[in-house]
Amino acid sequence: VRVDAGHDCAVVHGTQALTADTMVAGIHFDDQTPAEDVGYKVVAVSVSDLGAARARPEWMLLALTCPGPGPWVDAFTRGVADACARFGVYLVGGDVTRGDRVVVTSTLGGALVAEPRTRSGARPGDELWVTGTPGLAGAGWMSARPSAEALRALRRPVPPLAFALALDAATAAMDLSDGLASDLPRLCAASGVGARLDAALLPLHPDVAAEPDPLRCALAGGDDYELLFTAPPGAAIEALAQAYGVQAHRIGAITRDGIALVGADWPAPAFAHFSERA
Amino acid sequence: VRVDAGHDCAVVHGTQALTADTMVAGIHFDDQTPAEDVGYKVVAVSVSDLGAARARPEWMLLALTCPGPGPWVDAFTRGVADACARFGVYLVGGDVTRGDRVVVTSTLGGALVAEPRTRSGARPGDELWVTGTPGLAGAGWMSARPSAEALRALRRPVPPLAFALALDAATAAMDLSDGLASDLPRLCAASGVGARLDAALLPLHPDVAAEPDPLRCALAGGDDYELLFTAPPGAAIEALAQAYGVQAHRIGAITRDGIALVGADWPAPAFAHFSERA
């Protein structure tokens, strides 16, 4: 075992990366979420973890707890199959149990395509990068009338798997699942470094810009399943991103300590603790 | 992938066996079940699957959905650690999510110590064997006043792992999780054979014998996590069992088709369909 709990994946037998993710009805999705999207997403979120660690997805065990068979389960299963086909995952088994509320856990295994990449390799002077537009999925659940695009980002996330596997230059990476404001401090803590986020560099999707507090949405909106990573200055990140059809934006830099936001105030009040630390 | 869904384990990468099991509060355990026993058992039931397939447990990912931190989770975690230490399992990661009812999924990986053993190798003329005393765990939940021993069988099952790994002679095996009346037909269907169960050979634990319908308890009581297996006549099963401190009993034989009970009537009415098939 080389990488242990606390990272996106565990690694066993040298090259086998492992990750598990649970989605709970009423917590991670609501009654409005199509069952097919729940099935798709529970696979995609684990693919996102494997990509961050630089492992190509191989197999999945799926544990489904639900009230019983029926159209919901049929649609859920179609979504699982969609995602498995899209990301090259082979469903090898699992368990189905009865329960009054849907709980679903995906356990995915994948083969490392290089040394495992963790959250702990960032160094002061590295650039800080993100794929996609942070907060778009968040706009999908925060907005009273989300756009089709924001809803799609929320329900059908497409982790940048091929890009993540090809990304040699990154010194540290993690998938963006809880939002920048939660995930960046984790990456910094794991690496023993700080970061400076530049508000002017944050790519704001029109749906995020249309939110009452766009910066809050971009920083606190979770569920993006994009890649947050660090790389030395001069790495050809944008060219690689373009080659893989992925948006990548430099949003700041790694520093010695503290997490600072430049060009804006932290959205109040939930973010007060960042100002104190910065 | 060599063994697929429908068996106790999947096998990937030639020698890596995989299994997942879910336990749901109110379904698989009740309010009276100590949290420590829930933690122990969710590991043990997956160890049981690996043993049946002849894989030595190695790692586990644990997915816990629960209302939040507290004494229940602390005790649960102690039970998980107990079982991991006992069966040689290394907890490498997982996911913790919030939900109003406890749902826990263990995903275990193990290394095959020989060719994977499935449910499908039984041949007419093979003897039918079982470890332990079927129905004892069932007596633990069916009885109004279960004995300490029956409760222990229910809450702290000890799958015969070392014996299962050493058992070269078995032609087919599965773990006994839903009771003989459910599991034996599965083994027979997978192997394309029938079976003759001899009521006089069924080992009746005193707690099972004390039930209102002992035969029903022995046949329908689930949760034993013992081994049901077939072996050619003359295999030195009893000597091997003795060497590993396991009780093994020959309870019948494999036939061409049908599932017959000899020396007793099928407990009515739930078992009527067996008589029809026999």
pLDDT in tens, A124-134: 999 999 999 99
**Predicted pLDDT at B142:** 87
ipTM of this complex: 0.87
pLDDT for A273: 46
Above 60 in pLDDT, residue B270? no
Residue scoring higher pLDDT (B226 or A273)? B226
* The pLDDT value given to residue A115: 87
- B83-123 pLDDT, tens digit per residue, is 999 999 999 999 999 999 999 999 999 999 998 889 999 99
Check whether A272 has a pLDDT greater than 50.
no
Q: C-alpha angle with apex B16: B14 to B19, nearest 5 degrees? A: 130
Q: Poorest-confidence range of A6-10, A81-85, A138-142, B270-274?
A: B270-274
**Residue B2 exposed, middle or buried by CB count within 10 Å (0-12, 13-18, 19+):** middle
B/e letters for B90-100, b = 16+ CB within 10 Å, e = fewer, are ebbbbbebebe
Beta carbons of B65 and A22 less than 8 Å apart: yes
Closest approach of chain B CAs to the CA of A4, in angstroms?
Answer: 6
Task: State yes or no: pLDDT of B144 exceeds 50.
Answer: yes
- Judge: B65–A90 Cβ closer than 8 Å, yes or no: no
pLDDT of residue A2: 53
Distance from CA of B208 to the nearest CA of A (A): 27
Mean pLDDT across chain A: 92
- In the prediction, which pLDDT does B218 show? 96
Say what the pLDDT of residue A117 is. 87
| Residue A269 neighbours by CB under 8 Å, 6+ apart | none
Tell me if A226 sits within 8 A of A130, measured CB to CB: yes
With a cut of 70, say whether residue A246 has pLDDT above it.
yes
* Torsion-angle region of A174 (φ positive above 0: left; ψ -120 to 50: alpha; else: beta): beta
Q: Helix B35-53 and helix B71-87: axis angle, to 10°?
A: 30
What's the average model confidence in pLDDT over A42-46?
Answer: 98
Q: Which of A13, A42, A89, A95 to mutate to test the interface with B (most CBs of B within 10 A)?
A: A95
Instruction: Give DSSP secondary structure letters for A113-161.
Output: SSSPP-S----TT-EEEEES-TTHHHHHHHSSS--HHHHHHHHS----H
Which of B27, B107, B109 is facing A98, going by the closest CB pair?
Answer: B27
Torsion angle of alpha carbons B176, B181, B187, B193, nearest 10°? 150
Is B81 within 8 Å of chain A by CB? no
Inter-residue contact B146 to B140 (CB < 8 Å): yes
pLDDT for position B117: 87
Average pLDDT over residues A65-73: 96
Q: Kindly state the average pLDDT of the residues A182-186.
A: 95
- Contacts A–B by Cβ distance under 8 A: 133
When pLDDT is averaged across residues B8-15 and rounded to a whole number, the result is: 87
> How many angstroms separate the CA atoms of A128 and A180, rounded?
11
Q: Mean pLDDT over residues B270-276, rounded? A: 47
**Å from B150 to nearest chain A CA?**
24
- Band (pLDDT 50/70/90 cuts) for residue A6 is low
CB contact under 8 A, B94 and A5: yes
pLDDT tens, position by position, B49-65: 999 999 999 999 999 99
| B269: pLDDT strictly greater than 80 | no
% of chain A exceeding 70 in pLDDT: 94
Stretch 102-161 of chain B: residues touching chain A, C-beta under 8 Å: 103, 105, 107, 109
Residue A270 has pLDDT above 60, yes or no: no
Rounded average pLDDT over B26-45: 96
Contact B181, B252 (CB under 8 A): no
Average pLDDT over residues A34-43: 98
Are A95 and B105 an interchain contact pair (Cβ–Cβ within 8 Å)? yes
- The pLDDT-based confidence of B2 (bands split at 50, 70, 90) is low
Q: Which two tokens stand for residue B19?
A: 């299994």
Per the CB < 8 Å rule, is B22 touching A98? no
Q: In the predicted model, what is the mean pLDDT of residues A145-151?
A: 95
pLDDT, tens only, B246-266: 999 999 999 999 999 999 988
Nearest to B105 among A16, A26, A63 (CB): A63
Q: Is A22 on the interface with B (CB under 8 A)?
A: yes
pLDDT above 90: percentage of residues in chain A: 87
pLDDT exceeds cutoff 60 at A4: no
Tokens 């069916």 -> residue: B142
Nearest to B95 among A20, A62, A101 (CB): A20
Query: SS3 of B58, please?
Result: strand
Question: What's phi and psi for A160, nearest 5 deg?
Answer: -80, 70
B233 has pLDDT over 60: yes
* Amino acid B247: pLDDT: 97
Strand order in the sheet with B226-231: B172-176, B226-231, B127-131, B248-255, B194-198, B259-262
Which pLDDT does position A83 carry in this prediction? 98
What values do phi and psi take at B187, rounded to 5? Answer: -60, -45
Cβ <8 Å between B22 and A97 = yes
